[in-house]
């Protein structure tokens, strides 16, 4: 067990992309946790493939560093508001936070979101102005912005006295003023040791430990990670597990682990204030309390942000179902979704009237998109419906989620962006012109208005615009016509293989989504129509061969490049009567009803029932 005066528990919080994972890398390297010849991956904390590809942190991770006889436990949190469930719980494990802010971008929506959570828990903050080596860094202004944010979030007097460290995670340098930087992270380490309080819990009292994160290992089963709230825990000890419903069951701590660098190390015992992992307790869940069997007292159940967006996940029933995936049945789909619930507390899965479909609710498109991407990589096939916001009754008023949207755009695109957001019922609340040709605009916008907006936004700003948003509140329903897609689609009339000849014949009707030689089926969406209605096209047409030589050879005709949609773009693109079919190798858009005549009949029925006939 460690001397409790020498323990420091901190979380690193920041807006996505402000460099906190890289900062943790430097702290790890400079703390001497690794042998000189040991290779460390860049962004060592982002271990999951998706995190490495996208450069974002999805799951909270923890690590421990020894520095001048102190043990510093560091938890790296996700910056995206979609993963708010993770952030919320981590705040319960630590005594202080490092708020990392980009020296150029300053405070962003997610900075505000994660900081609010930290201040609510009365944590002690240290502000790190990162990327101080950026050519257009503006550290003094950024500190003013941070101070304003603290005041706006009603920080107490102690929290407002935050120390500031200037750093560049990439170069591994830091200092207490922008002009005096040392070539190590020591100034930051010293501030952590000096400013963050040691744990104050009592190791002599009966044991209490709350499960904050879950991990899984095929040899040890579920591993519960959290902080010992009070008392001590030993390997082999009998404990009481208290679940959310207030029931208690007996269990035994098979193995106990502490953290050292990125590794888990086995321990004999741990005391109050330690962040540890406990293995050997079956069916343990997040938020449950492990306590002394003689004094079973449960800690307050963790409050978790409610989901704001939902989608239907259904079994793939397209003509190409089962060709690529390993798991295709509804039983497998259900098992996988319920397994996700064990570690992701912000997710909800509800059955529907059909045994083949489930309603999955999450914190936003990114949250659900990551789940879908993970599932397809694991070999699942499924189809999903258009993402929809969750409407709630609040005090008898029908309400919907509103997002706070922050946009950085070049001045010349400002008019087009403001106009497009106006049609999506956005309300502008702030505008800052930094005088460098860039304008920062802040809006409140119904979450529905953001579905499918990113693609249009990038086109309008020619790729130079940056948009970020975070959930703000629920507000009264804004009415029917918010957002949505205005273009119709090109729907395949045949099942077969697309040909260059067939595609050339429909090119002037819109933009195609497939390459020549792609297998398509009847009812599959193969492109976007340049008008607002859907049309049926045959892109499998073969050219009729004749023996007359034509004077104008066709080889010189160039085809336009098709637009291939990524998973996020495909999900945003969907309309109410469409599905996105997802398999390990393909992403296809399709109509829910594949046959043209049946589709027309269903549309007639819908119009009749709408007009009340």
DSSP codes of every residue in 105-141: TB--HHHHHHHHHHHHTTPEEEEEEE-TTSTT--HHH
Do the beta carbons of residue 232 and residue 272 sit within 8 Å? Answer: yes
Tell how strand 489-492 and strand 535-537 pair up: parallel
Distance of alpha carbon 447 from alpha carbon 426, whole angstroms: 10
Q: Is 374 labeled as ligand-binding?
A: no
Residue showing tokens 């944010």: 149
**In the structure, how many helices (H) and strands (E) does the chain have?**
15, 36
* DSSP string for 226-263: EEEEESEEETT-EEEEE-TTS-EEEEE--EEEEEEBTE
CB 287 within 8 A of CB 302: yes
Could you tell me how far CA 431 lies from the centroid of its own chain? 27
19 is in an annotated binding site: yes
Tell me the CA distances in angstroms from 447 to 266, 368, 483, one per residue in order: 46, 15, 9
The first and second tokens of residue 596, run together, are 């043209």
Residue 474 backbone phi and psi in degrees, to 5: -95, 140
Enclosing H/E stretch for 600? helix 596-610
Q: Is position 20 annotated in a ligand binding site? A: yes
Tokens of 411: 């001045």
Q: How far apart are CA 441 and CA 447, in angstroms?
A: 17
Cβ distance 362 to 347 under 8 Å? yes
Question: Is 133 assigned a ligand-binding role in the annotation?
Answer: yes
Cα dihedral value 277, 279, 284, 285, nearest 10: 30
Q: Burial letters for 399-423: b for 16+ Cβ neighbours within 10 Å, e otherwise? A: bbbbbbbbbbbeeebbeebbeebee
For 384, counting Cβ atoms within 10 Å of its Cβ (0-12 exposed, 13-18 middle, 19+ buried), the class is buried
d(CA 233, CA 141): 47
φ/ψ bin of 374: left (φ > 0), alpha (ψ from -120 to 50), beta (otherwise)? alpha
Question: How many Å apart are CA 297 and CA 300, to the nearest integer?
Answer: 10
Q: Which tokens belong to 557? A: 């005709």
Contact between 293 and 250 (Cβ < 8 Å): yes
Candidates 388, 397, 450; CA nearest to 424 is: 450
Is 17 annotated in a binding site? The answer is yes
Q: What is the DSSP secondary-structure string of 462-485?
A: TT--EEEEEEEEEEE---S-SS--
- Three-state DSSP at 170 gives coil
Say if residue 132 carries a ligand binding annotation.
Answer: yes
- As a whole number of angstroms, the distance between CA 130 and CA 128 comes to 6
Check the annotation: does 190 bind a ligand. Answer: no
Contacts of residue 378, defined as CB under 8 A and 6 or more positions apart, other chains included, come to: 327, 336
**DSSP string computed for 350-372:** EE-SSTTEEEEEESSHHHHHHHH
List the one residue out of 307, 325, 453, 471 whose CA is nearest residue 402: 471
Residue ranges of the annotated binding site are 17-22, 130-133
Residue ranges of the annotated binding site for GTP are 17-22, 130-133
């Amino acid at each position: 067990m460690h001397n409790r005066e020498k323990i420091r528990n901190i979380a690193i919080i920041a807006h996505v992309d402000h460099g906190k994972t890289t900062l943790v890398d430097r702290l790890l390297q400079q703390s001497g946790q690794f042998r000189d010849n040991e290779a460390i991956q860049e962004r060592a904390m982002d271990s999951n493939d998706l995190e490495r590809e996208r450069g974002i942190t999805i799951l909270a991770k923890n690590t421990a560093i020894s520095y001048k006889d102190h043990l510093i436990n560091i938890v790296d949190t996700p910056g995206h508001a979609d993963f708010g469930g993770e952030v919320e719980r981590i705040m319960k494990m630590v005594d202080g936070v490092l708020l990392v802010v980009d020296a150029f971008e300053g405070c962003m929506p997610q900075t505000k979101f994660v900081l609010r959570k930290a201040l609510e828990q009365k944590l002690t903050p240290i502000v790190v102005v990162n990327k101080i080596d950026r050519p257009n860094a503006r550290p003094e202004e950024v500190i003013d912005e941070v101070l304003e944010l603290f005041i706006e979030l009603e920080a107490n007097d102690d929290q407002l006295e935050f120390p500031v460290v200037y750093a560049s995670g990439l170069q591994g340098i830091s200092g207490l003023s922008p002009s005096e930087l040392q070539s190590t992270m020591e100034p930051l380490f010293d501030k952590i040791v000096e400013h963050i309080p040691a744990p104050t819990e009592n190791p002599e009292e009966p044991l209490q430990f709350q499960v904050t994160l879950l991990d899984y290992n095929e040899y040890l089963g579920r591993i519960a990670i959290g902080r010992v709230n009070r008392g001590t825990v030993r390997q082999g000890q009998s404990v009481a597990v208290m679940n959310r419903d207030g029931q208690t069951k007996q269990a035994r701590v098979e193995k106990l682990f502490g953290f050292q660098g990125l590794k888990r190390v086995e321990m004999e015992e741990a005391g109050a204030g330690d962040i540890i992992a406990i293995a050997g307790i079956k069916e343990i869940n997040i938020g449950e309390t492990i306590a002394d069997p003689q004094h079973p007292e449960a800690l307050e159940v963790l409050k978790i942000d409610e989901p704001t967006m939902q989608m239907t996940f259904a079994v793939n029933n397209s003509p190409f179902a089962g060709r690529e995936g390993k798991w295709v049945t509804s039983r497998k789909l259900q098992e996988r979704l319920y397994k996700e619930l064990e570690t992701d507390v912000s997710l909800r899965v509800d059955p529907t009237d059909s045994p083949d479909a489930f309603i999955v609710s999450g914190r936003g498109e990114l949250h659900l998109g990551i789940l879908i991407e993970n599932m397809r990589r694991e070999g699942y096939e499924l189809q999903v419906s258009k993402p929809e916001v969750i409407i709630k009754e609040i005090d008898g008023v029908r309400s919907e989620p509103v997002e706070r949207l922050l946009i950085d755009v070049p001045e010349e695109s400002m008019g087009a962006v403001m106009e497009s957001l106006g049609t999506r019922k956005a309300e502008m609340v702030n505008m800052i012109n930094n005088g460098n040709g860039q304008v920062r605009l802040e809006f409140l916008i119904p979450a529905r208005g953001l579905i499918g907006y990113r693609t249009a936004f990038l086109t309008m700003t020619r790729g130079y615009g940056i948009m970020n948003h975070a959930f703000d509140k629920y507000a009264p329903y804004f009415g029917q016509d918010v957002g949505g897609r205005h273009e119709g689609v090109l729907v395949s009339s045949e099942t077969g293989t697309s040909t260059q000849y067939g595609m050339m014949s429909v090119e002037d009707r819109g933009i195609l989504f497939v390459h020549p030689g792609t297998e398509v089926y009847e009812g599959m969406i193969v492109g976007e129509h340049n008008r607002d209605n859907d049309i049926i096209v045959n892109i499998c047409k073969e050219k009729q061969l004749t023996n007359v030589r034509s004077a104008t050879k066709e080889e010189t005709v160039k085809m336009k490049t098709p637009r291939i949609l990524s998973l996020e773009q495909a999900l945003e693109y969907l309309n109410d009567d469409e599905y996105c079919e997802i398999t390990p190798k393909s992403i296809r858009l399709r109509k829910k009803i594949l046959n043209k005549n049946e589709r027309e009949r269903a549309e007639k029925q819908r119009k009749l029932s709408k007009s009340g006939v």
